[in-house]
Structure 1
Amino acid sequence: MTREEVRIESVWLENRRGVDGLGIGEPRPRLSWIASAAPDAWEVEFRRDDGVVHAVRLPAERTRLVDWPFDGLRSREGGQLRVRAAEDAGGWSTPLRVEAGLLDRDDWSVPFISPSPAAPAGTLRPGYLLRATWDTAELGIAPGRILRARVYSSAHGVSDLEVNGRPVSDDVLSPGWTSYRHRLRTQTSDVTASIVEGRNVVGAWLADGWYRGRIGFDGGLWDVYGTDVALLLQLELTLDDGSIVRVPLEDAWSWHPSPITEVGLYEGERYDARLLPVGWSTPGFDDRDWSSPTVLPLEDFPARLEAPTGPPVRVIEALRPVAVEAIEGGRIRLDFGQNISGRLRINVRGPGGHEVRLHHAEVLENGALGVRPLRAAVSIDAYVCAGSGLETWTPRFTIHGFRYAELEHWPGDLDSVDVEALVVHTDMPRTGWFESSHAGLNRLHENVVWSMRDNFVDLPTDCPQRDERLGWTGDIQVFAPTALRLYAAHGTLTGWLRDLAAEQAEQGHVPNFVPWLECGFPNFPTAAWGDAAVIVPWELYQHDGDTRVLEAQYESMTSWVDLVDRLAGGTGLWNTGFQLGDWLDPAAPPDNPGQSHTDKHLVATAYHVRTARIMAETAALLGRSGDEERYRGIADRALAAFRSEYLSPSGRVVSDTPTSVALAIVFDLFATPEQERRAGERLIELVAENDFRISTGFVGTPIICDALARIGGIDAAYHLLLQDEMPSWLYQVGMGATTIWERWDSMLPDGTVNPGDMTSFNHYALGAIAGFMHRIVAGLDTAAPGGTALRIAPRPGGGLTHASASHDGPLGLATSSWRREGTRFTLDVVVPVGATASIELPDGSTVDDVPAGRHSFTCTVRDAASDPARPPKRWRGGPHEDERAEAGAGPVAVDAPDAADATDTAVSVA
C-alpha cells in the first residue's frame, strides 16, 4: 500500500472522542487516531498559536493513547494538531484544535455572582437573568486587536450563557451534576465571533438544577449542596501581541427575574413569555431597574475546579410524533413512538396570557397517561404566550422521561399542532451495532441502546423519569462492558469514577449511588454495588488497554477490597450486614424487590472473590508486587470460604437458583472441572424447569446466558433469549417497549402497570444482554485489552439465519457477520489496523493470527431449521438431582452441536 493511500479517519484527545480539544484540563493530553493502513511511521505536528511549529516522528505501531510528544501546555495555551503517514505530503488529518483551559485554581480571579444566596425550601424557585456590560475602548483595546475571546465558566446550579444576544454553546444543563462538595466542572467557550468593538454584554440564564433544587426520592431533598444559586464567569481576551486581558466584570453584574417563573428537574418548567426583557443580553438595553447580585468569594467554596473529562449534554435529535389525537377533556395526545429523555419544543400561536400545559409519561394505562410510576416527579411544563404571533419554546432547565405527551389548553385544532420531542443526553459517539434475522432481537438491541442514551445524561443514572435519576453503582457495574461496546462512554465514566472515589473517601465506603444523597436509602457497604469501584475501572482498562485509569482509581479500588476483607473478618466469607443481593428477582413481591431466592451473602462472597482477583491483576499490571501477593491471598481466602460455605463436593450450589449457579460458573469459583460440569447440567435444568423464562435479577441476568454458553448450553441460552412470555426480554418487546424496563413485569399482560411503587420503563441494567448478543450470537469479542487481539467465535442457534456485530473500538472498526444458507455457514470479518484475530468457527475449526483487513470463512453446520425448538417444561418444582438419580432418572444432556452436522468442514480465507 502506498503512502498516499493511508487516510487518517479521526484524531482525538484522551476521553474526548468526537469532541474538540478546547478547554482541556491536561497539560499533556494523550492522542489517538484511526487510519486506513499502517505506514512505516507517523508524523505529528502541533502548530502553536504563537506560530511555532513542532513536529515529531513516531513509530507506526503507536496510534492509541500516545503520550503528548511536545512541551506541556500551560493554562490558555493552544494550537492546531494534525497527523499523517510519514513523508506523505498530502495526507494530513483534519486539524484538531487543542487548547488548555484554566489548569490551576489560582488562574481564577473572579468570585461567584449570586442573584439568590438563599430561598425557601419546599417550593419551586424561579430562574434568573444575569448581565454584565463592558467596553473594548474603556479597556484600551484598539479595533482589530482581539485574536481570541474565551469565557471560562461554571455555576452553582445550571446555566446558559449568551454574549451580545448570541448563545455561547449548545450545551444543556451545564455544568452538569458532580459531587459538588468535591468537584465542580468548568467550561471553556470560544466567543471570539460574538465580540464587537465598543460595548459588549455577557448574559446568563441561571436556575437551581441539581445544586439546590429538589432531588432524590421519598420526598426529595432541597439545597443538598448549598443554599445559593450562583455563576462563576471569567472573560479573557487574547490580543494580537499575545497578551491576555481579563475583562473586569466583578462590579458590572446585575440581575433580574427571568420568564422562568418556577422550575425543577422533576417538576417541570413554567415560562411566561410576556416577562422576557427583550434585548436583555445586548448592548443598549436599559437595566436601571435590575438589582445588584451578592458576591460570594471563590475561596469560600473549596471544591476542585476541573475541566470536563467527556462530552457535554446536548440535544441530539428531534422526533416528530407518530400519532396525534384529540382525547376526552379537551387534551391532545402525542405519541412519539420512542421512550426518550428530553423535552418538547412547541410552535404555537395564542393570545397574550394564554397558558399551554405539557404533560409527560412513559406509558398509557387505562386510556390515560401512566403517571403513577413518576411518583413525585409531576413532569408538567407550562408556557404562557406573549401573543406575538408564532412563538417557539422549549424548556431550558428541566428534563423528562417520556414517550407520550398531552397538550392541555392548546389554542387550535389538531392541524395546528406543531410539536417535536427533543432527545437530550451526553453527546457520546456511537460505537456498537448489532443486527440479525430476528426482528425481536433487533428491537431488543435498539431498546438497550435507547435506555443507555436516556440514562447517560451527564452521569450514568438508573432512570430518567421519576423522582430518583441517581447514579446507582450496581446498575453501571453490570452494564459497563455493554456500555463501552455501544458508545464512547469513557469520558463520562472517568468523571463519575472521580466522584465515586471522593464520596467513598468521605463515607468510608462506596455509596449505593454516586453522587450520594441522604434521602432515606440505607447507607451501608453493599456487594455488587460497591464493587463498581473495582469493576468499572477494570472494564475501562479491558476496553482501552489503558492502565492510567487503574492508577487513578487504585486507592479507591484497594479501599473497597480492603474494607470487604475487614467486614469478612479476614476469613473471606462476607456473611454480615445489609445486602441487596439479586435485586429484582422476578419472583420477589412487588413491595419487596430485594426478597430474592438467591442467598445474598453468597452473592457478596462471590463478588469478594472477583474484585480481590481483579485487584491482584491490577497490582501486577502496575508493578506493585507486594500488593499483588496480598490481594491474591485475599482472593484465595474468599474463594476457599465460598467453596466451603456454598458449594457441595458434587458441584451443587447453595440456593440452587440460576443466579447462584451462574455466578459460580462465570466467576470461576469451582474447585474441579467435574464440579463445573455438574453445575452446568443443573443450570440447564433450572432454566428449563422455569420454561426458559427469566428467574434472575440485577446480578444474575447480565451473566445467565454467558454461563449457559460457557458450559455447553448454547441452545438453552437461545431458548432463554428468545422466550417471549413473561418474564423475558422479548415479552417487553411484544408489549411495545422501546427501552429496557426496570422490572420484568413493569407492565402486566393486561396493559396495567406493576402495582409496586418502584416501576420504571427505562432502566439499562437488564439490557446487559446486548453484550451477549455481540460476543456470542454475532461472535465479536476481544482477546486482549485495547482490542489488539480479537476473538471472533459466533455461536449460531435459535433459528437465526444471520447475525452481525460491529464495534468502532480504539483501533477502528471491527466486524463479525455470519449467515447460514442451508448447512453452509459463511463468516465475514473485518480486523482493524493494529489488531489480529483468532477465528473459531461453529464446527470447531480455528484460524489464528488473522491480520488486519477483510476476510471470509466457511464451514458446514446444521441448518437453521434444525435448531432445537424450546422444549416443554421438564421439571416443575421437581426433585433435586440426587433424588432423581435415586429414582433412576438420567442426567439432563448438555446442549451440543450434532456431530453429524459438523462434517465436511471447509475453511477459506479471502
Structure 2
Amino acid sequence: MRRISFILYFILPAMCIMAGNFKPSRLRCEYLSNPICISERHPQFSWIVSSDDNEVWQSNYELLISDNLSSLRKGEGNMWNTGIVNSDESIQITYEGKPLKPFTRYYWKVRLRNQVGKWSDWSEIAWFETTMLDEADWKADWIGDGSQQFVRDEDFYKEDPMPLFRKEFSASNGIRSARLYVSGLGYYEAYMNGKKVGDHVLDPGWTAHRQQVLYSVYDVTSMVAKGRNVLAFMLGNGWYNPLPIRLFGTYNLRDVQQTGRPIVKAELRIEDKNGRVSRILTDATWKVSPGPIVRNNVYLGEKYDARLEVEGWNRVGTPRGTWRSAVKKQGPSGSMTPQMQPPVKIIERISPFSVWKTSSGTYMVDMGVNFAGVASIKVKGEKGRTISMRYGENIHPDSTLNWLTTTAGHIKSMWNMQGGPGAPKDAYQEDKYVLKGIGEEVYTPKFTFHGFRYVEVFNYPGTLSADDITGIRLSADLERTGFFECSDSLYNRLHEVTLRTFRSNVFSVQSDCPGREKMGYGGDMVATAESFIYNFDMAQFYRKTVKDFINDQSPAGGMPEIAPNTGIIINGIGDGSGPLGWQLAFPFVQKQLYDFYGDKRIIERCYDSFTKQVEFINSKTVDGLFHWDIGDHVALDTKDDAFAASCFYYEHVRIIAYFAEVLGRKDDAIRYEKLAEDIRQRIVKVHLLSGTGRYGNGTQGTQAFGLYYNLSEENKKAAFDWLVKEYERHDWHVATGIFSCKMAFDVFRTLGRNDLAGRLVSNIDYPGWGYMLEQGATTLWESWEYPENGSSQNHPMFGSTEEWFFRSLLGINSLSDAFKKIEIKPQPTNDLKWAKGSYSSIRGQISSDWSIEDGLMRLSVSIPANTSAIVYVPSLEGQMVETTSSLSRFLYWKDGYSVFEVPSGTYTFRVKPPSPHDP
C-alpha cells in the first residue's frame, strides 16, 4: 500500500501588526522622478506601497495635483483631485484633471488606505514640469554657420571645423527659474558663462530625423547671473551629418537618413520672481565662429586642433577669433520631442592596467577591460605636434594593437572591403590632438565613442605613464534594478562581464556593438530584452526603441531590421522591411513594457502600427508560412531558416492576439487567435516529424524553438527528449544561436530541468560562455569562436544568461499584472550551494536568497507591499518545511516543491531533516 505523503510546517515566533510605517514612496511621473521634460497632456503616475509589516494592501488612494505649492500643502488639488478611489492600483494612473499648460510646474502627493481602513500620511510632495506641449510652443529658429554641404564623397573626409555659437544677454536680479531647451544636431555641448550645462554627453539621442528630433531640458537657474551673461554651443556631426562611408562596402547612411550640416535650436526661458518671462532664442542675431574640432565622426573618431581654440568663446566679453552672424536654417522635418530616455553620461573613469612602449616607439595602454567610451590624455609638448590615440579590443602576439574587430562596417584592406571614395582603407577608430604648446594640455574627445580595451598612442612627447591617460566609460545613465550573486565564481564572472557588455551598448539605442556598427538590431533585442530589464530600468529607453521602429515603418507596414533604419536589410520580406526575427522586436519590446511595467498605453498607441505590420507580413506568406530569414543567428549547427521564420510569424500573430485581448478588442482577438492557431497547425504539419518530436532539421536550435513556442503539446516530451539527445551529441556544449539560447533556458525552466541548463553554462571549453571567460573575455563576444580579426568582442546578443540567473536560479517571475502576483521558484543547479539577489520591480523590490546546507534548503524571500506571491520551496515529498509566519499558507507539494501562498512581507522557509521517529 502506498504511504500517503504529507508536509508539516511549523510557525516560528513572528509578529504581524499594522505599524505606522505604511506609506507611498518612490513617486514617479512617466517613470521619472521630478521630471522637467513632460510634454504628455495626460501623464501617468506611479508609486510604491511601502511597509515593514507583512500582509499590507492598498485598498484606496487619493491623489492631489496643484499648480502651486501652497494649495497642495493646504490639501487642495486645484488641477486634479481624484477623491477617494476604490482601487489597489499604484502604477500607470492617468491624469484626468484640468488641461495642463506648457512651461509650468505642477506639484502632487498621494495618500493610501490599507485593507483594515487605516490611512497613511500624505507622501512627500513630488512635482513635474511641462515643456512645449505643441510644436507651436517653439519660438526659436534652427541656426547654422551657413556653410554648404559637400557634394563629392571624398570631400567629407577633409578637415571641416565645427561651429561655435554664442549669444550675450542680460538678466535682472531675482530669477525664479531658468530652463534651457536645446537640440543640437548631430551632437552638441551647451555652456553658460564658460561652464558646461548639465552632464550629458553625445546629446541628443539618435532618431530618424525625418520623423523625430529629440531635445533636452536643463535647469540652469543657478548658472544665470545678474547682469551680462553668455549662452554658447559647440556642435558636432553625430548621426545627423555622417560620413558617406559604405559600411560593409555597400550601406551609406546618407542614402537612408535625413542629414544636414550641424545646426542648433534652443530657447532659454527665464522667469523672475514677479512671474515675468524673458526668452533668449536662437536666431540670426547669434554669432558663429569655426572651432577647434576639425574632424568628427561616430565611427572614425575626432581630430581636435588646440591651436584653433577661440579664447573666451563661451564667456562674457569680446572673444578672439572671427565671428559672423549665424544663418537661419531649415531643420529636419521630424517633430521636436523631449528626450525622455536616460541620457549618455560618464559612468566610470578607468585607470590603465598597464602601459608599455612598443618596439616601434609607440605606447600601448591596456585598460584591463573592454568597454565603450573614449580615452582622456594629458600631454605637454611643442606647438603643432599631433598625437594620435588608436583603439582596439585586442593585441597581436607581438603586443601591437589589433583593431580588426572594430573597423567601421568591416572596412579593412585585408578583406578588400572598401568604403567608397575618400574612405580610409582601414576604418579603425582613432582620435587626434594637435598641441597648442602651452603648459599641460588635456584632451578628451567630445563627439565620438569607441569600443576598446587597448589604446595605442602615437607621437607622444616624453614618457607616457598610467597617470597620463584615463579610460572614460560612457553609457546611458540607466538605474540599476537587479542584483545577483551565487556560490559559483564562473556565474559571478559571467554576470559581471555581461553587465559590462550591456552598458557598452546603450547609447540611446540598444546596439549590437560599440565599435564596428553601433546600430539597433531588432533581433538582438528579442534575444536579450528581458535580461536588460531584470538588471536596469529600461522603461523609457524601450519606449524610445518602440518609437524608433514606428518612425521607420514602411508605407506598406513592414518594420526595418535596424531602428533607426540604416538601410541594412538581410533576408527581409520586401518593401524595405527586415527579416521577421528582427521585425519581431517591435511587438516584443512592447510586450515587455506591458509585462514588466504595466504599460498599457504603449500598446494602445502602437496598436494601429502593429496591425498594419501584421497584415503586411500576412500578405507575404508562401503557402501560409515563410521560408527565409536570417534565422537563429550565429548558431553552430546548420540553421533551419524556414522553420525559424515561420515561428517568428506565429509569434507576431500570437502577440497581437494578446494585445487585442488586453485592449478589449474582442473581434480582433478572436480573429488573430484563429490565425495564430492556423499558423501553428501549418508549422506542425510541415516542420514536425510525426511521432519523433523532431522539429525542422532536429538541431538544438530547432528543438528549442518548437518547445519555446509550445507548437505541439502532445509531442512535448518527445521533442524535449530529442533536444537532450542533441546536447548529448555535442557533449553538453551549446550549438545554439542567439534566439535558441534564450529559448532553451526558458524550456529548461518551465520543464523543471534547470540542472541541464547549469551543465551548459558551466562548461569552460569551446564552445560556451565559460570558454569566453577562460580566454580572458571581459565582455561577451559576437560569436562562439574567438574573434581575432572579424567578429566583435563586445556584443550583448548572447546575454540571455542574465534572464536565466533571475528567472531560474533566483526564481523571480511575474505571474500577472507587472508583478502584482509574483512567483518565487528557485531551481538550483547540481553544484550550486547558494544564490541571492533582487529585482526592483515597478511595485517594489523582490528578493530571493537561498542556500543548501547538508542537503536541505533554506529560502528567504521579500515580497513588496500591495503584492502577493506563490513560493516554491525545493523539497522532497513528505519533508517538513518550517516557516517564519502563519501568513504562509501551504498549498500542495508537486514535482519537488512545497508550494506556499504568501502576502507581502519577508519570509524564511527551512526544510527540516526527517525525525528519527519517522517511519
Matches for 1:706-717 after TM superposition, within 5 Å:
706-717=746-757
Matches for 1:44-443 after TM superposition, within 5 Å:
44-46=63-65, 48-49=67-68, 52-53=71-72, 54-55=76-77, 56=81, 61-68=88-95, 70-83=97-110, 95-115=125-145, 116-120=147-151, 121-122=153-154, 123-124=156-157, 126-136=160-170, 143-214=172-243, 217-219=247-249, 221=252, 223=254, 224-286=257-319, 289-297=322-330, 301-366=332-397, 367-376=399-408, 377-415=427-465, 417-443=467-493
**TM-score scaled by structure 1?**
0.87
Q: Call closer, same or farther: CA 1:65–1:257 in 2, change over 3 Å.
A: same
Indicate the residue corresponding to 1:31 in structure 2.
Answer: 45
Q: Call closer, same or farther: CA 1:387–1:599 in 2, change over 3 Å.
A: same
Contact 2:312 2:320 in 1 (8 A): no
Instruction: Name which of structure 1's ranges 331-340 and 735-744 shifts more when overlaid on structure 2.
Output: 331-340
Letter in structure 1 aligned against 2:21: E
Indicate the residue corresponding to 1:658 in structure 2.
Answer: 700
Indicate the residue corresponding to 2:548 in structure 1.
Answer: 499
Q: CA RMSD in A?
A: 2.6
Determine the C-alpha separation between the residues in 2 that align with 1:432 and 1:146. Answer: 41
Indicate the residue corresponding to 2:883 in structure 1.
Answer: none
Match of 1:723 among 751, 763, 780: 763
Indicate the residue corresponding to 2:26 in structure 1.
Answer: 10
Letter in structure 2 aligned against 1:586: L
Matches for 1:806-825 after TM superposition, within 5 Å:
806-825=838-857
Indicate the residue corresponding to 1:458 in structure 2.
Answer: 508
Structure 2 unmatched ranges of 5 or more:
1-16, 409-426, 876-895
Letter in structure 2 aligned against 1:13: C
SS in structure 2 of the partner of residue 583 of structure 1: coil
Contact 2:392 2:404 in 1 (8 A): no
Contact 1:260 1:269 in 2 (8 A): yes
Deviation per residue, 1:457-483 (Å, 9 max, x gap): 1111111011x1111011101211111
Instruction: Name which of structure 1's ranges 69-78 and 333-342 shifts more when overlaid on structure 2.
Output: 69-78
Determine the C-alpha separation between the residues in 1 that align with 2:281 and 2:406. Answer: 46
SS in structure 1 of the partner of residue 442 of structure 2: strand
Indicate the residue corresponding to 1:629 in structure 2.
Answer: 670
Determine the C-alpha separation between the residues in 1 that align with 2:468 and 2:648. Answer: 52
Determine the C-alpha separation between the residues in 2 that align with 1:533 and 1:797. Answer: 34
Instruction: Name which of structure 1's ranges 215-224 and 786-795 shifts more when overlaid on structure 2.
Output: 215-224
Determine the C-alpha separation between the residues in 2 that align with 1:71 and 1:628. Answer: 35
Letter in structure 1 aligned against 2:605: A
Deviation per residue, 1:602-651 (Å, 9 max, x gap): 11111222221221111011010111111011101101101110112312
Letter in structure 2 aligned against 1:168: V
Tell me whether 1:856 sits opposite 2:890 in the alignment: no
Indicate the residue corresponding to 2:874 in structure 1.
Answer: 842
Determine the C-alpha separation between the residues in 1 that align with 2:45 and 2:380. Answer: 50
Letter in structure 1 aligned against 2:359: E
Letter in structure 1 aligned against 2:718: R
Deviation per residue, 1:112-156 (Å, 9 max, x gap): 1012341353433545233333433xxxx7x32432222211133
Number of matched residues?
Answer: 833
Deviation per residue, 1:641-693 (Å, 9 max, x gap): 01110112312222011111111111110041xx1111111111100110111
Offset of residue 84 of structure 1: 5.5
Offset of residue 437 of structure 1: 0.8
Determine the C-alpha separation between the residues in 2 that align with 1:687 and 1:572. Answer: 32
Contact 1:217 1:519 in 2 (8 A): no
Instruction: Name which of structure 1's ranges 495-504 and 511-520 shifts more when overlaid on structure 2.
Output: 511-520
Tell me whether 1:528 sits opposite 2:585 in the alignment: no
Matches for 1:682-693 after TM superposition, within 5 Å:
682-693=722-733
Indicate the residue corresponding to 2:807 in structure 1.
Answer: 775
Deviation per residue, 1:526-555 (Å, 9 max, x gap): 121111122111111111122111112212
Match of 1:643 among 677, 684, 687: 684
Deviation per residue, 1:257-277 (Å, 9 max, x gap): 111121111111111222211
Q: Call closer, same or farther: CA 1:181–1:746 in 2, change over 3 Å.
A: farther
Q: Call closer, same or farther: CA 1:205–1:93 in 2, change over 3 Å.
A: farther
Offset of residue 40 of structure 1: 6.9
Determine the C-alpha separation between the residues in 1 that align with 2:665 and 2:46. Answer: 28
SS in structure 1 of the partner of residue 304 of structure 2: strand
Match of 1:517 among 549, 554, 566: 566
Offset of residue 70 of structure 1: 4.3
RCO (CA 8 Å, sep 6+): is it higher in 1 or 2?
Answer: 2
Deviation per residue, 1:327-347 (Å, 9 max, x gap): 322222222222111111223
Indicate the residue corresponding to 2:414 in structure 1.
Answer: none
Q: Call closer, same or farther: CA 1:529–1:40 in 2, change over 3 Å.
A: closer
Offset of residue 705 of structure 1: 2.6
Offset of residue 211 of structure 1: 0.7
Q: Call closer, same or farther: CA 1:724–1:507 in 2, change over 3 Å.
A: farther
Instruction: Name which of structure 1's ranges 711-720 and 660-669 shifts more when overlaid on structure 2.
Output: 711-720
Contact 2:579 2:629 in 1 (8 A): yes
Indicate the residue corresponding to 2:418 in structure 1.
Answer: none
Q: Call closer, same or farther: CA 1:90–1:146 in 2, change over 3 Å.
A: farther
Determine the C-alpha separation between the residues in 1 that align with 2:305 and 2:605. Answer: 47
Determine the C-alpha separation between the residues in 1 that align with 2:501 and 2:556. Answer: 30
Determine the C-alpha separation between the residues in 2 that align with 1:91 and 1:410. Answer: 63
SS in structure 2 of the partner of residue 632 of structure 1: helix
Q: Call closer, same or farther: CA 1:507–1:287 in 2, change over 3 Å.
A: farther
Q: Call closer, same or farther: CA 1:905–1:453 in 2, change over 3 Å.
A: farther
Determine the C-alpha separation between the residues in 2 that align with 1:174 and 1:108. Answer: 19
Q: Call closer, same or farther: CA 1:400–1:657 in 2, change over 3 Å.
A: same
Determine the C-alpha separation between the residues in 2 that align with 1:442 and 1:386. Answer: 47
Determine the C-alpha separation between the residues in 2 that align with 1:402 and 1:579. Answer: 31
Indicate the residue corresponding to 2:858 in structure 1.
Answer: 826
Structure 1 unmatched ranges of 5 or more:
588-596, 748-752, 862-902
Instruction: Name which of structure 1's ranges 455-464 and 247-256 shifts more when overlaid on structure 2.
Output: 247-256
Indicate the residue corresponding to 1:678 in structure 2.
Answer: 718
Q: Call closer, same or farther: CA 1:641–1:162 in 2, change over 3 Å.
A: same
Determine the C-alpha separation between the residues in 1 that align with 2:70 and 2:334. Answer: 36
Contact 1:477 1:532 in 2 (8 A): yes
**TM-score scaled by structure 2?**
0.86
Q: Call closer, same or farther: CA 1:905–1:78 in 2, change over 3 Å.
A: farther
Determine the C-alpha separation between the residues in 1 that align with 2:307 and 2:511. Answer: 36
% identity of equivalent residues: 27
Tell me whether 1:702 sits opposite 2:736 in the alignment: no
Contact 2:143 2:326 in 1 (8 A): yes
Determine the C-alpha separation between the residues in 2 that align with 1:630 and 1:400. Answer: 48
Contact 2:289 2:321 in 1 (8 A): no
Determine the C-alpha separation between the residues in 2 that align with 1:293 and 1:655. Answer: 64
Determine the C-alpha separation between the residues in 2 that align with 1:85 and 1:629. Answer: 39
Contact 1:705 1:720 in 2 (8 A): no
